[in-house]
Structure 1
Amino acid sequence: MMQQYLSIKERYPDALLFYRMGDFYEMFFEDAQLASGVLEITLTSRNKHDESPVPMCGVPYRAAQAYISRLIESGYKVAICDQVEDPKAAKGLVKREVVRVVTPGMIVEDELLDAKTNNFILALSRHQHITGLASLDISTGAFRLTETADRNAIIDEIMRVAPREMLLPESLNADAAFTPFIKENLISAITVMEDRLFEFAGSRQRLLKQFDTLSLEGFGCESMKAGVGAAGALIHYVSETQCQKLEHLSAVQTYFLGQFLVVDDQSCRNLELSGNIRTGSRQGTLLGILDQTVTAMGGRLMAHWLRYPQLDPAPIQVRFDAVADAVGQMQTRRDLRESLKPVRDLERLGSKISMGHGNARDLTALKRSIQALTDVFSVLSSLSAAPYTYDRDTTKLHALADLIHRAIREDAPPVISEGGMIREGYDNGLDELIRISKDGKGWLAELEAKERNTTGINSLKVRYNKVFGYYIEVSRTHSESVPDHYIRKQTLVNAERYITDELKHFESRVLNAADQRNDLEMNIFVSIRDRVKAHHADIREVARFIARVDCLTTFAEVAQNNGYCRPKINTEGILEIREGRHPVVEKLITGERFVPNSIVMDNLKNQVLIITGPNMAGKSTVLRQVALVTIMAQMGSFVPAEKANIAITDRIFTRVGALDNLSAGQSTFMVEMQETANIVNNATEKSLVILDEIGRGTSTYDGLSIAWAVAEHLHDLNGTGTRTLFATHYHELTELENQLDRVKNYNIAVKEWNDEIIFLRKLVEGGTNRSYGIQVARLAGIPEPVIRRSKVILAQIEAGMHPRAAENNEAGTGSKKRKGHIQLGLFSPMERKLLESLQMLDLSRMTPIDALNLLNELQIKAQSDVN
């Protein structure tokens, strides 16, 4: 047995081997030591009295799934080694084989998966200067590939896919400029494979064999050598770990990164698209607001649409039409959403059944889902938009549902090897075996009554267990009354167990019937499952249709419940939002009304908006809501505004807040600068840039100069500029409106009253030169003595005095007033005027007397400004 174990383990060195022995999965040696610690189970040993006992631990076969889940969550792989022949028929050692390797990216069990989240494994490949990427969710059959020469775009795409596991070729794993970033920032479950498995020729052949086609032209990837290399390596890995050809992987979707709006991972976090910054949960996110889907498939598609908003106006308009149709028919929409509720996860059910992992309960869930489609399609007939039309024949699906209904019991057990799955009346041979089993129970009762009467032993019992089979049990006190034809089988403390020829004959008949019944039930069940498997393509297509219907009607439900409008879409760079609202904040605030705001941006006059105002006034909310409204519109959703005209945007960049990344040795300022560098290096004229402060992590002069230069760069980008919302406390930046053609100043209005401020939350034209920092400090709970002292110091600085020097003068110490002004900004108004005058001079044409006269004028102007 140990030789068999070691030979199997040798083929799976990177996995924990679950070795089936009876009712347990056993682990030995290093596997046992590691697993016992992770699973917190007892570590024992085999051959305890030997000099070198073998470490050993085990988990019950029936409870194995929970233990496997814990190991996968901890980043381990599990090779499941089962008995592949009947122990009764085995000659010598029972044959065992690994039937499946469970890895973080190779999971199909519902209890190990989040219903509304895809579980991707991702592979990378490189061909010359091109990097290919392929991703697969084995539980749904979603299989996609792409490629690009842009390494940063590949990083963005990896983070957008968010895989649970990655495959890398040896050469790419050795790339010191690429792989360490992946390992440190993205994912730790990485499998490195030989480069030959990623080569185009071999990968292409594996894909052709998988899809049973002559070329990859139909999938649009025949010439994509890097992408095909990654996809072919994935297929190899799947066949090796699942020990079968996965027939539900019948196509691959080719896509290009330029088809979708890109929101990099940092911006995704800043905007809280799918995980809030504090806990990472969906609560308080855009996805949390939009995802009111009623099916698991719809939930996954909604998350996909959020990360892949469209750039092509045509499909966006198709979604708008469908949402408008559902908004206009409220009762129909609600009837439809109600009819969708009984539909289970058809994608994952179909995949699970196709892989041979589905049980009788999965077939029953499939049946109920197909039956529910009748009501779904009936209600859909009232909606006219194109996405609500299903043009495929569902007759075969309903025939499958009828087959399952006739064959599978509603109360079938979750285990398929112990019978009890098939309805009586479906198969005559099975019915006969069931009758024998049922009659056996009555026969045993009759035998027990007869033997009691014959022997006069009223406590006599006829029983059964798996070890001894059927037996007659008599208490020790009545052993003298036992007839001679009873054959003693077992002696207990208080009883004796016997068998008789009659009981042995019955046992043979009944047990054979029970075994035959289980075998026949299994054969019937597998044949039905195979018939379902043959129609996986039909199940997949209707699943995708239901997911799309669920998402579109959810958009309509959310739009009507929250007062959203249908936006217009344009390609002219116009971004106009009238009375727009933040979709998340408006649902979370309490105690006050959300104040809507309007934004107008274009590429002619309003391209860069400088937004000033105090902290807590709402600058960040305005910035984020513009980005979120843009994303929602390009998803095909209505938006929180009275009116909106949204420019097609290729990328959204955000620089919002910053935290020290101490583990990487990075300060707040370094994080700020890295995010800013990403923006200035990658933004295009079709991008939307959100900047919420730049330069706060360094000195005033440095920070202001960097902020100024960045604003100029974005205004002049590629000669056309890019749409930018720039919130800042550097009021000097408002001067850019006078120097650059497409810069406009805005501020968040506040009202002063009794030395306090009231936040009006309204965005108005014009800049402001006050930050109201002391008033905000009071609101934050700074003690009143500190507030009073701050006011005194502020007054002294504004008067051009050093605080300590001013106090010394007032105290009569004789200290002199400090000359000069405590310069907080980069340019004072006086200095700015002088600089402007100097910049306009033409020295080549100026005479000495002209220069003296001008110098006199500047002196008079400077003195008048000081006074």
Structure 2
Amino acid sequence: MMRQYRRIKQDHGDAILFFRLGDFYEMFEKDAKEASALLNLTLTNRQNVPMCGIPYHASHNYIARLLKAGRKIAICEQITLPEGGRGIAERRVVEIITPGTVVDEDFLEKNSNNYLVSIGSTKTQFALAYIDLSTGDFQTTSFPWENRIEMLKKELARLAPKELLIQNTLCEDDPGVGRILDEYPDSMIGRYPDWSYDIETSGALLRKQLGVSNLKGFGIDEADPALLPIGVLLEYLEDTSKSLLRHVLSLKLYRGDDFVGLDESTQKNLELVKNLQDGGRKYTLLDVLDHTKTSIGARMLKKWLLSPLFDKKAIEERQLGADALYRNQLLLSSVREILSGVLDLERLSARVAMDRAHAKDLAAIKQSLLAAESLQELMSDWFNPWTTDAEKKAAINDVQSLLERAIHEDPSILLTEGRLIKTGFNKELDRLKNLKQNSQKVLESYLDEEKEQTKIGNLRIKYNRIIGYYLEVTKGNLSQVPKHFIRRQSLVGSERYTTDRLVELETKISGTTDQIIDLERELFLEVRHAVQERVPAILKLASWIGWLDCLCSLAQAATIHGYIKPSITNSPKIAIDDGRHPVVESYLPAGEFIPNSTHIDPRDVSFALITGPNMAGKSTYLRQVALITLMAQIGSFVPAREAEIGLVDRIYCRVGASDNLARGESTFLVEMNETAHILRSSTSKSLIIMDEVGRGTSTNDGLSIAWAVTEHLLEQSAKVLFATHFHELTFIEHPKKQNLALSIAEHGDEIVFLKKVKPGAVNHSYGIHVAKLAGVPREVVQRAEAILKKLLEHERQDALPEANDRIEEPQTSLFDQDDLLLKEIASVDVNSITPVEALNLINRWKLELNKQE
């Protein structure tokens, strides 16, 4: 047997092999040592072979723990038993379970997608494809090589993949990519050779999977670099799933400009789906807006939040649906009630397509289709896509009718217990069931005969799996036992017997039961296959249900929180009257949040410089504007009295910073990286939120950087809200700049934060007042006041530069490096120069850089 184990293990060296032995999965040698440590199992030795095991029926719990630890599991089953019970059973790996390929609901988060990502590159293009095998969501994109770091960070933050497949040279030769991957220690990462990333091979595999002769119907050119990582992904899925992927029916090609750009730090700082405290969902925008009733809708809403639309028509279509539901509260309530009866049709369909669905899954599909039928009857033609797709509507009706007739009301999960198929669906099955029922009556009749003959009034016929049917006689009646009773077992208070007649009846009943189980299994598989053929229609229905659920969720959020429908325009203007922070206000008593207005229009004023003390509400105000804009561009209502949102192509939120140990970056370097990224990639259509730029270094350096950044953004004419403690920046004069301040009220030595934005500037930070409020010891506060007084006496206002004065800086700029030197470095062919030449070049570059210090 160990030879068989080692032969199978040799083909699955990177997986923990679950080797089926009877009712257990056993692990041996290296796998046993690793699994025993991860699963807290007892490690034993047999003939110097380390081993441990888990019960077959409890395997799901252990598999889930291994997946969470980022491990791959190969399931090796007994395929056939040896004749006569001797010899070695035939075994083979029937499934490989990995974090990114699971479809079993026990291993999935119901409200989050489970993405497997594949990444590859050419010399000029970088490509990323991803799939959620549990839903069939399959997409790909590509972008220029020089944008790879920005795009990879953004996409991985959005997708939160459970597993990554990476072109090997990217890991070895691209430090930027390597540092990003280091930030995903919980994601399983597989490396693949360069030759496996081939556009032509990927195209052929994709056409085979989608069942088409060309990809024109999907809007994909055969030479599109976005195809590059797809081949590795599809081959990996084929190797691991060991089944056809009948639900992977289409591929969506997307580009970066299809949606509003949200980089990694913006997604994090706006706390869209994870909070900054513990990474949980509480205190996030998702937590406020998510009133979905289905897992399909919950996953879709999360995707909407991370991919706001940049298409006015598409936004207004969502608005139209949400508004119709918002205005008809009775309809909204009825739809949400019906939606609560819809189970996860996407993932149920995936399991059907992959031959993983059991009878309870089909019963869940039946229940969901009944609810969907009620939804279609309730909704208007505008909401109901089935009025124009008769073919798919007919397919849905066929599935619903079949499942209603075929599947038992309370079916078994196992195929070996019966109770799968309804009475009336199959005549032969009904005949066998009747025969079994009649056999039970024969047993009862036989028992009556024995009672009459033996005069044992409490004689019983019972059954267990060990000895089958038996007659039970209590100790007090043993003297009445007749000679034809054959003893089977002796217990403390009774004896168990059989008879020739009982054995005969048991044989007949058992044979009938086996026939029923076999026929039910056969019929169930036929029904499942029929449902498989209609999976495309079910998936389309599931998508519509998710979309409807999202609209209901937005309408419900608007109802609860008093949101209004914003006006969406193609102008550059953002006008928000009495806007509110959607998350902060949801945790305050009604009416307590103080609203503030925002008016930015690059044709007039594009840059708002905001001053005010700590705790005055600057960061809340900044995030509020970004969140309202984002909410408008997913089609949501917004927290304001009135709002006009001109479409933005990107939202940048540089609010706060912390060091990044994984990337080896200090707090200030993180801040400067984010600032540099904004200055280089933002456009005149972008919304930029910046808070305390330059605070992580010395005062003079920080002020200089903040001043220069302000001037740069003013020239660019993007929509900017810039909060700062550098009050000197308020003296910058520019026709597109306005000064705003968070107002306060002073009462002697005390201050009150009014949380209201007004025109003007605050020339004091009130930091010592805030320290006092925080409970800093009195003697420390008094000393700080004395030091501040002394510093203010030496302050010289005339030392500030005039607005737009260009000052020659002795310090190397973080943003304008020597272009000639960069071009020379980029042009070097590292494959053709010798090591000595490389050292000479590096030395010359170092000397040139030192001249700039």
Q: Which residue in 1 is equivalent to 2:333?
A: 334
Q: 8 Å contact 1:689–1:722 — kept in the other structure?
A: yes
C-alpha change, 1:661 and 1:156, in structure 2 (3 Å) is: closer
Q: Counterpart amino acid of 1:767?
A: A
1:152-188 CA-partner distances (Å, limit 9, x unpaired) = 2233222212111111233333333244223311353
Q: Which residue in 2 is equivalent to 1:804?
A: none
C-alpha change, 1:692 and 1:390, in structure 2 (3 Å) is: farther
Q: How many Å separate the matches in 2 of 1:589 and 1:282?
A: 18
1:395-435 CA-partner distances (Å, limit 9, x unpaired) = 33233222212222212122232211222222222223223
Shift of 1:302: 0.6
Q: Which residue in 2 is equivalent to 1:4?
A: 4
C-alpha change, 1:226 and 1:384, in structure 2 (3 Å) is: closer
Q: 8 Å contact 1:325–1:384 — kept in the other structure?
A: no
C-alpha change, 1:676 and 1:505, in structure 2 (3 Å) is: same
Shift of 1:394: 2.2
Q: Which residue in 2 is equivalent to 1:136?
A: 131
Equivalent position SS for 2:175 = coil
Q: Counterpart amino acid of 2:723?
A: A
1:532-563 CA-partner distances (Å, limit 9, x unpaired) = 11100110111111111111222222223322
Q: Which residue in 2 is equivalent to 1:514?
A: 513
Q: How many Å separate the matches in 2 of 1:102 and 1:70?
A: 12
Q: Which residue in 2 is equivalent to 1:18?
A: 18
C-alpha change, 1:479 and 1:317, in structure 2 (3 Å) is: closer
Alignment counterpart, residue 774 of structure 1, candidates 768, 771, 789: 768
C-alpha change, 1:169 and 1:787, in structure 2 (3 Å) is: closer
Q: Which runs of 5+ in 2 are unaligned?
A: 807-853
1:474-494 CA-partner distances (Å, limit 9, x unpaired) = 789998987666666678899
Q: Which residue in 2 is equivalent to 1:722?
A: 718
Equivalent position SS for 1:63 = helix
Q: Which residue in 1 is equivalent to 2:849?
A: none
C-alpha change, 1:556 and 1:492, in structure 2 (3 Å) is: closer
Q: Which residue in 2 is equivalent to 1:183?
A: 181
Shift of 1:714: 1.8
Q: How many Å separate the matches in 2 of 1:123 and 1:623?
A: 36
Q: Counterpart amino acid of 2:593?
A: F
Q: 8 Å contact 2:262–2:652 — kept in the other structure?
A: yes
Q: Which residue in 2 is equivalent to 1:319?
A: 318
Q: Which residue in 2 is equivalent to 1:504?
A: 503
Q: Which residue in 2 is equivalent to 1:854?
A: none
Q: How many Å separate the matches in 2 of 1:487 and 1:232?
A: 67
Q: How many Å separate the matches in 2 of 1:375 and 1:405?
A: 15
C-alpha change, 1:504 and 1:560, in structure 2 (3 Å) is: closer
Shift of 1:530: 0.9
Report whether the alignment pairs 1:429 with 2:428: yes
Q: How many Å separate the matches in 2 of 1:697 and 1:360?
A: 60
Q: Which residue in 2 is equivalent to 1:106?
A: 101
Q: Which residue in 2 is equivalent to 1:567?
A: 566
Equivalent position SS for 1:174 = helix
Q: 8 Å contact 1:132–1:227 — kept in the other structure?
A: yes
Q: How many Å separate the matches in 2 of 1:703 and 1:272?
A: 26
Q: How many Å separate the matches in 2 of 1:591 and 1:560?
A: 13
Mean Cα displacement is larger for which, 491-500 or 444-453? 491-500
Q: How many Å separate the matches in 2 of 1:689 and 1:426?
A: 64
Q: Which residue in 2 is equivalent to 1:749?
A: 743
Q: How many Å separate the matches in 1 of 2:699 and 2:202?
A: 57
Matches within 5 A, 1:255-274: 255-274=254-273
Q: Which residue in 2 is equivalent to 1:686?
A: 685
Q: Which runs of 5+ in 1 are unaligned?
A: 801-820, 840-867
C-alpha change, 1:401 and 1:692, in structure 2 (3 Å) is: same
Mean Cα displacement is larger for which, 699-708 or 5-14? 5-14
Q: 8 Å contact 1:147–1:226 — kept in the other structure?
A: yes
Residue identity over aligned pairs, in percent, reads 40
Q: How many Å separate the matches in 1 of 2:384 and 2:502?
A: 70
Equivalent position SS for 2:229 = helix
Q: 8 Å contact 1:371–1:398 — kept in the other structure?
A: no
Report whether the alignment pairs 1:733 with 2:732: no
Shift of 1:229: 2.6
Shift of 1:741: 3.2
C-alpha change, 1:161 and 1:217, in structure 2 (3 Å) is: same
Shift of 1:591: 9.2
Shift of 1:33: 2.1
Shift of 1:708: 0.8
Q: Which residue in 1 is equivalent to 2:614?
A: 615
Q: How many Å separate the matches in 1 of 2:4 and 2:622?
A: 64
Q: Counterpart amino acid of 1:776?
A: V
Equivalent position SS for 1:410 = coil
Shift of 1:593: 1.7
Equivalent position SS for 1:244 = coil
Q: How many Å separate the matches in 2 of 1:79 and 1:598?
A: 58
Q: Which residue in 1 is equivalent to 2:90?
A: 95
1:267-317 CA-partner distances (Å, limit 9, x unpaired) = 111111111111212211111111111111111111111111111212112
Shift of 1:243: 0.6
1:674-720 CA-partner distances (Å, limit 9, x unpaired) = 2222222222222221111022221111111111111112222xxx3
Q: How many Å separate the matches in 1 of 2:707 and 2:495?
A: 97
Shift of 1:87: 6.8
Q: 8 Å contact 1:127–1:225 — kept in the other structure?
A: no
Shift of 1:643: 1.9
Q: How many Å separate the matches in 2 of 1:169 and 1:795?
A: 61
Equivalent position SS for 1:62 = helix
Mean Cα displacement is larger for which, 482-491 or 599-608? 482-491
Q: Which residue in 1 is equivalent to 2:293?
A: 294
Q: Counterpart amino acid of 1:108?
A: V
Shift of 1:504: 3.4
What CA RMSD, in Å, does the superposition of the two structures yield over aligned residues?
Answer: 2.8
Q: How many Å separate the matches in 1 of 2:129 and 2:700?
A: 47
C-alpha change, 1:91 and 1:430, in structure 2 (3 Å) is: farther
Report whether the alignment pairs 1:546 with 2:545: yes
Q: How many Å separate the matches in 2 of 1:660 and 1:389?
A: 55
Q: Which residue in 2 is equivalent to 1:407?
A: 406
Q: Which residue in 2 is equivalent to 1:81?
A: 76
Q: Which residue in 2 is equivalent to 1:169?
A: 167
Q: How many Å separate the matches in 2 of 1:123 and 1:421?
A: 40
Q: Which residue in 2 is equivalent to 1:853?
A: none
Instruction: Report the TM-score, using the length of structure 2 for normalisation.
Output: 0.88
C-alpha change, 1:91 and 1:517, in structure 2 (3 Å) is: farther
Q: How many Å separate the matches in 1 of 2:383 and 2:432?
A: 55
Q: How many Å separate the matches in 2 of 1:579 and 1:413?
A: 57
